[in-house]
């Protein structure tokens, strides 16, 4: 065999898929594993894409994104407090490519990326491809928030970036003003980037403080954003990043070399999405969150309060099983699938998603209750 890029040897297969596949192979198994909206993309957005195709908007778009969409994104971001120009916007294939472009664009081999943990596994994957090291910042002992002491303990001269995902996958927790102040203090006047993964920001059920709106951090912050979650557009694969001009100068070349550009007609539809309210979908998730957390509390289970996204991270330590054993047994014996906390770097927890109908959530909660009663 001819050796491949050695950084790829360290990549791991997503365990989320492993557990989803095991559940699919188990007859009658219910699933609370999926991290994508079960709702449909708004009609207006679908119509806009169809019209754009009819109008032959089917040619290469500019590498950075169409001027109309970049202007709409810059207006949208500026309106919510992240003052950017259209030149500081790059349209990407979902937040995945935004994160890939951002992290590959800033990490050199040997650099360190600090990730509050539990956290989304893609960050480590990208850092690994870049030959960089992921440094977990364990937040489980500090109420799932970031403290100055914990941050100081992991920052080194090799720290190149801190990843902030709020509301967080897998916990749904929103980082408090104090947590973000600690991050700001740690990076100000240091050559350290903040990468904000804001994909769940508009699915917040309470006020969500946001470093991307802090003018003091403008020169060292990259925002990664997506149309996937707020508008139920996961399959469309469209998102964007915003960053300072000197960063865009290089990231644009990286993105152009990777994808050339995002499909033109999708960009037209994304303009319509930006003016389509997200509050009705958020309200549906909020009601589901209330139902699921109410049931979990009644079962005597504990979890950090989810204030956004569509996940609950449930503590299972009292059962004395590691999260993978717990989830495998729950699939086989309880006919219910969840994602082990180990997939997010934190054992002793499982992630439940509430991107499911009321009936499916009721079945899921009933089965969880029955399963834990057997332990």
Give the residues lining the site for ligand PLP (CB under 6 A). 35, 94-96, 120, 165, 169, 197, 199, 226, 228, 234, 239
Beta carbon nearer to ligand PLP, 112 or 197: 197
Min dist CB 339 to ligand PLP, Å, is 12
Beta carbon nearer to ligand PLP, 198 or 293: 198
Min dist CB 86 to ligand PLP, Å, is 20
> Between vectors from CA 271 to CA 226 and to CA 96, what angle results, nearest 5°?
20
Beta carbon nearer to ligand PLP, 172 or 334: 172
Min dist CB 93 to ligand PLP, Å, is 7
3-state secondary structure the chain: CCCCCHHHHHCCCCHHHHHHHHHHCCCCCEECCCCCCCCCCCHHHHHHHHHHHHCCCCCCCCCCCCHHHHHHHHHHHHHCCCCCCHHHEEEECHHHHHHHHHHHHHCCCCCEEEEEECCCCHHHHHHHHCCCEEEEEECHHHCCCCCHHHHHHHCCCCEEEEEEECCCCCCCCCCCHHHHHHHHHHHCCCCCEEEEECCCHHHECCCCCCHHHCHHHHHHEEEEEECCCCCCCHHHCCEEEECCHHHHHHHHHHHHHHHCCCCHHHHHHHHHHHCCCCHHHHHHHHHHHHHHHHHHHHCCCCCCCCCECCEEEEECHHHCCCHHHHHHHHHHHHCEECEEHHHHCCCCEEEEECCCCHHHHHHHHHHHHHHHHCC
Beta carbon nearer to ligand PLP, 98 or 217: 98
Beta carbon nearer to ligand PLP, 102 or 192: 102
Beta carbon nearer to ligand PLP, 14 or 315: 14
Neighbours of 100 (CB within 10 A): 23
Min dist CB 1 to ligand PLP, Å, is 32
Min dist CB 337 to ligand PLP, Å, is 17
Q: Which residue is nearest to ligand PLP (CB)?
A: 94
Beta carbon nearer to ligand PLP, 76 or 362: 76
Min dist CB 141 to ligand PLP, Å, is 22
Min dist CB 109 to ligand PLP, Å, is 24
Beta carbon nearer to ligand PLP, 99 or 372: 99
Among 132, 129, 87, 111, which Cα is nearest to 251's?
Answer: 87
Min dist CB 102 to ligand PLP, Å, is 11
Beta carbon nearer to ligand PLP, 172 or 348: 172
Among 297, 286, 304, which Cα is nearest to 349's?
Answer: 304
User: How many Cα atoms sit within 13 Å of 327 on the Cβ side?
Assistant: 30
Beta carbon nearer to ligand PLP, 229 or 286: 229
Min dist CB 362 to ligand PLP, Å, is 25
Min dist CB 190 to ligand PLP, Å, is 25
Among 235, 278, 223, 271, which Cα is nearest to 65's?
Answer: 271
């Amino acid at each position: 065999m001819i050796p491949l890029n050695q950084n790829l040897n360290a990549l791991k297969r997503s365990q989320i898929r492993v557990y989803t596949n095991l559940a699919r192979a188990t007859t009658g198994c219910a699933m609370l594993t999926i991290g994508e909206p079960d709702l449909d993309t708004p009609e207006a957005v679908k119509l806009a894409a169809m019209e754009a195709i009819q109008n032959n908007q089917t040619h290469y778009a500019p590498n950075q994104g169409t001027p109309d969409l970049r202007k709409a994104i810059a207006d949208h971001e500026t309106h919510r407090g992240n003052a950017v120009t259209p030149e500081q916007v790059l349209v990407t294939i979902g937040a995945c490519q935004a994160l890939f472009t951002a992290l590959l664009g800033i990490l050199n081999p040997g650099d360190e990326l600090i990730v509050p943990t539990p956290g989304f596994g893609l960050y480590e994957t990208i850092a690994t491809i870049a030959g960089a090291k992921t440094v977990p910042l364990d937040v489980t002992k500090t109420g799932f928030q970031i403290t100055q002491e914990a941050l100081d303990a992991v920052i080194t001269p090799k720290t190149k970036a801190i990843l902030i995902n709020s509301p967080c996958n897998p916990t749904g927790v929103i980082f408090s003003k104090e947590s973000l102040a600690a991050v700001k203090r740690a990076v100000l006047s240091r050559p350290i980037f903040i990468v904000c993964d804001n994909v769940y920001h508009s699915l917040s059920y309470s006020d969500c403080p946001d470093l991307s709106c802090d003018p003091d951090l403008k020169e060292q912050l990259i925002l990664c954003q997506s149309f996937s979650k707020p508008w139920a557009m996961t399959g469309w694969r469209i998102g964007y990043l915003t960053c300072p001009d000197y960063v865009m100068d290089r990231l644009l070349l990286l993105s152009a070399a990777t994808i050339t550009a995002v499909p033109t007609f999708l960009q037209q539809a994304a303009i319509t999405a930006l003016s389509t309210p997200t509050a009705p979908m958020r309200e549906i998730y909020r009601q589901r969150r209330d139902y699921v957390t109410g049931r979990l509390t009644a079962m005597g289970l504990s979890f950090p309060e989810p204030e956004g996204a569509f996940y609950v991270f449930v503590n299972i330590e009292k059962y004395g099983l590691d999260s993978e054993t717990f989830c495998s047994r729950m699939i086989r014996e309880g006919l219910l699938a969840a994602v082990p906390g180990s997939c997010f770097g934190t054992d002793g927890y499982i992630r439940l998603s509430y991107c499911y109908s009321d009936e499916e959530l009721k079945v899921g909660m009933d089965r969880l209750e029955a399963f834990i009663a057997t332990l």
